[in-house]
Amino acid sequence: MLFNSIEFVIFFIIVTSLYFALEHKYRWFLLLAASCYFYMAFVPVYILILGFTIVIDYYAGILIEQSEGKKRKSWLIVSLIANIGVLAVFKYYNFLNDNLTFLLGQAGKENPVPYLSILLPIGLSFHTFQAMSYTIEVYRGHQKAERNFGIYALYVMFYPQLVAGPIERPQNLLFQFYAKHSFEINRVISGLKLMLWGFFKKLVVADRLATYVDAAYNYPENHSGITLIVATVFFAFQIYCDFSGYSDIAIGAARVMGFDLMKNFNRPYFASSISEFWKRWHISLSTWFKDYLYISLGGNRVAVPRMYFNLFIVFLISGLWHGANWTYVIWGALNGFYLVAAIMRDRFIAKYKLEIPGSKGAAGKSFNILFTFVLICFSWIFFRASNVSDAFLIIRKMASFDGPLYSTYPTMFFCLLSIIMLLAVEAKQEYFKGSFSFMNNRNPVIRYSTYIFLLLMILLMGVFDGGQFIYFQF
Amino acid sequence: MEKQDIFRFVKRTLLFFLAVFLVDFAVGQVMRYFYFRQDSGSLYRTTYALDSTTAQVLVLGSSRASRHYNPDVMQVAMNRTVYNAGQKGNHIFYHYGILKGVLRRYKPQVVVLDILYDEFKPVQDSYDRLSVFLPYHDTHPELEELINLRSPFEPVKLVSKVYPYNSLILPVLNGNLGFDKVREPEIKGYLPIDAVMTDSVKKRSERIEYGLDSLKLQTFEEIMSTCKKEGINLYVVFSPAYLENIGNNYSVSIARKIASEQGVPFLDFSGTEPFVSDNKLYSDNVHLNAKGADIFSRQVADSIANRLKNQN
């Protein structure tokens, strides 16, 4: 079930109403049943895969807690193998097989390994990572093993964040299923406001920009360098609004029912460096990799060259996490390279106490924000391109910086207007936090007028035929 | 406390939705006023086709229809009034909608249905594009069935008075200010192109067989049966394209077969001179320019006129 559908609106109203109508002791069961229904609205049979990992991880958690020494570690390994195994089969098997076919083809041989005719289960990478965070935390002793199977299943399947995050940690979410959430009007309205803003981002900004981006990126050979530059910038905003819009709806929907999910985005395009960008973008995944991979590899406690290597590897894997395609691997590698280069530069500047002229003050910060945005946009080319050769074709065409701009005037008008509205709101949130607010204004007329304005914008400018959220495929 | 909060929330929600309803109604009325006040542009052409034309010959089709059939040229050859109701980006559902809308008012003598290559290919866009009929949902109940093909929730969405005008602010503004009168002048629905195709290399269109969209096939058959029932002379036409083997396109073959089964004339211009060899008659591979359109309009009108004469 897509968030941007009437079905979801009806589903949300029914589930939330029932949630508050039911006694506390039955609520977890309602949420679990609703989450199953939500997930099964995509491809029903894939709930079995989810069920498989849930059963393994549930028992693995208990066994880890009850065991000591090597046994404890071996149960963790069982859990990790089950989760990574599911990912490997459903997400990476055909990709690896493709590469094997290519390599054997180079040697003039045929690949005897058969292809699997399977669809990638929606949001697989998200819920497997969330499940892994549970067993790892139990292993580390930061979390007690959950004894109630239903509650554990709900931890993995909680419908607002089931298919595209935020990837939660057990310490933050599990206990909330035991807490009694009463109907608090301010919290409910705050959740609904966040959902409204999420819908605006998805329907008005992301899906509108997608019409231009798809036209350019699906047929890059037919488009000029200028068009591809514009499409790449548009894609940067599209993917941000698509994904952060989803996160806002997820966090908002959970908040209405009394649950606090972690923040996933913090106005990333106002970052003035690559490392800051990664602290603001897909925070739940970045911190997952930091907590469970980067630190496990030694983190900052190793020699400097090894630390650079660790960072690079983490980003490479992060790229692969996004999709089984070399484009994502290159995207990850590029970001890893950016980050390592930025750290090396910072260390060099600190070591020799260098002062870069113009690097401070508003102008310097603006330049850094713009430079970071350009670097990120460049990496998005690989993220969005259908394949590596398309990505390089796009870069070559962009470098030529010529040709006519593909544009139908309503598309361009709506695209630019939606970006301007987004940036205006985010710039206000970033730089004028305590100042005048429309959505949180004390005056109810201004506040409610803003909600109505946003709804009207969605009705007038939203794309209602837009597709699913980009991150569902991960 | 909780009950109080729930009560307050319900009260505020009701008030909020009342305000939304009023604003939506007001903005929707403004949009509606300006929508139907247009006197040029593509939206206006749909309104004109549905509500005003009384032409004896009606041309239905996509952008290829709107670019290929010059009513002035056809009128001379056919001795009948002609209106070109072709609309870019639209497919068989749209053509059926226009026919249904027109039949509420009058019965044209001849309908020319210009079908598209890959007309029956399952493409979501064909359904999405039916949004073009949303502004007419309350004045043209015959379009309801087609509108509902977009999604089962269209009646719910149409509670909003603004929703039918989604994404139409600029086109409506344009239709009121008349920019298209200068930028893209029309002649009875016909939109000539002056550009001449520069690439003389004729690309090959490979025949690819795909799963056919059964709803589109059904709609095609319904157009034929409606015309038969109403006593309208229907001609299914595949107009020229500068592509090798395009006449062998899977959808075109299917259309030819169904038309033959139903006893409807199918006029195939995919292999007709001078269109097969002269790229100067095109603006691109699939659209004739004004010069090509005049020659084609003459040919197709002559062909239909002769058939009508023989019929009588």
Asked if residue A152 has pLDDT above 90, the reply is yes
Three-state secondary structure call for residue A432 = coil
pLDDT in the model for residue A116: 79
Residues found in chain B: 312
Contact state of A464 with B166 under an 8 Å Cβ cutoff: yes
**With an 8 Å Cβ cutoff, are B167 and A183 in contact?**
no
- What is the C-alpha to C-alpha distance for residues B67 and B236, in angstroms, rounded to an integer? 17
User: Which of B1, B20, B124 minimises the CB distance to A452?
Assistant: B20
In a domain, B23, yes or no: no
Chain A nearest C-alpha distance from B198 (Å): 16
Average pLDDT over residues B267-288: 90
Select from A152, A175, A154, A124 the least CA-distant residue to A59: A152
For residue A415, the chain B residue with the least C-alpha distance is B167
Which residues of chain A neighbour B167 with C-beta distances below 8 Å?
Answer: 410, 414, 460-461, 463
For residue B58, give the H/E element and its range.
strand B57-60
Residues 379-418 of A with CB under 8 A from B: 409-410, 413-414
Write out pLDDT tens, residues A182-218.
899 999 999 999 999 999 999 999 998 998 999 899 9
Chosen from B125, B167, B173, B174 to mutate, greatest number of chain A CBs within 10 A: B167
DSSP state of B104: T
Residue-wise DSSP of B238-265: E---SEETGGG-HHHHHHHHHHHHHT--
Q: What is the mean pLDDT of chain A?
A: 90
Query: Residue A439: what pLDDT?
Result: 83
Quick: pLDDT tens for A449-470: 999 999 999 999 888 865 555 5
Is the pLDDT at A436 greater than 90, yes or no? no
Q: What digits encode the pLDDT tens for the residues B56-110?
A: 999 999 999 999 999 999 999 999 999 999 999 899 999 999 999 999 999 999 9
**Closest residue of chain B to A184, computed from CA coordinates:** B5
**Residue of A127, A223, A282, A322 marked catalytic:** A322
Backbone angles phi, psi at B236, to 5 degrees: -95, 125
Beta strands in A61-183 (DSSP E): none
C-beta atoms of B162 and A459 within 8 A: yes
Lowest mean pLDDT among A440-449, A464-473, B116-125: A464-473
Q: How close does chain A come to B225, measured CA to CA in Å?
A: 31
Residue B102 within a domain: yes
B9, part of any domain: no
B21 is a domain residue:
no
- Domain-embedded: residue B218: yes
pLDDT score at B74: 94
> Is residue A227 classed exposed, middle or buried when 0-12, 13-18 and 19+ CB atoms within 10 A define those classes?
buried
pLDDT-derived band at B312 (thresholds 50, 70, 90) equals: low
Examine the pLDDT at A356 and tell me if it is beyond 80.
no
Evaluate whether residue B12 is within a structural domain: no
Q: Is the peptide bond before A166 cis (omega within 30 degrees of 0)?
A: yes
- Residue in chain A lying closest to B28 (CA): A460
> For the domain that residue B188 is a member of, what is the CATH number?
3.40.50.1110
> Do A259 and A287 contact (CB within 8 A), yes or no?
no
Q: State how far the Cα of A258 lies from the Cα of A241, in Å rounded to an integer.
A: 25
A96 against A248, higher pLDDT: A248
Measured CA to CA, the distance from residue A1 to residue A8 in angstroms comes to: 6
Specify whether A322 is catalytic.
yes
| C-beta separation of B66 from B192 below 8 A | no
β-strand pairing of B287-288 with B282-284: antiparallel
Count other Cβ atoms within 10 Å, centred on residue A403. Answer: 13
Query: Rg of chain B's alpha carbons, rounded to an integer?
Result: 22
Range of the domain at B55: 36-311
Question: Is pLDDT at A474 greater than 60 in this prediction?
Answer: no
Say how many CB pairs under 8 Å bridge A and B.
67
Residue in chain A lying closest to B150 (CA): A465
Chain mean pLDDT for chain B: 91
Q: Which of A2-6, A441-445, B220-224 holds the top average pLDDT?
A: B220-224
Percent of chain A with pLDDT over 70: 97
C-alpha gyration radius of chain A: 23
Is A361 a residue whose pLDDT tops 90? no
Quick: pLDDT tens for B2-41: 788 888 889 999 999 999 999 999 999 999 999 999 988 8
Assess if residue B236 is contained within a domain.
Answer: yes
For residue A300, what pLDDT is reported? Answer: 83
At A39-71, the pLDDT tens digits run 998 888 889 989 999 999 999 999 999 998 889
Tell me if B43 sits within 8 A of B92, measured CB to CB: no
Please give the average per-residue pLDDT across B182-194, as a whole number.
86
A459 and chain B in contact, CB less than 8 A: yes
A284-296 tens-digit pLDDT? 999 999 999 998 8
Best interface-test mutation with A: which of B3, B8, B9, B285 has the largest number of A CBs within 10 A? Answer: B9
Quote the tokens at residue A311. Answer: 């960072």
Closest by alpha carbon to B74, among B298, B303, B255?
B298
Q: Does residue B186 register a pLDDT over 60?
A: yes
Give every strand in the sheet of B82-84, ordered side by side. B82-84, B57-60, B110-114, B233-238, B266-268
Average pLDDT over residues B231-249: 92
Contact at CB, B16 and A182, closer than 8 angstroms: no
B166/A459 CB distance under 8 A: yes
Residue A281 confidence (pLDDT): 95
Q: Is residue B279 part of a domain?
A: yes
Say how many domains are in chain B.
1
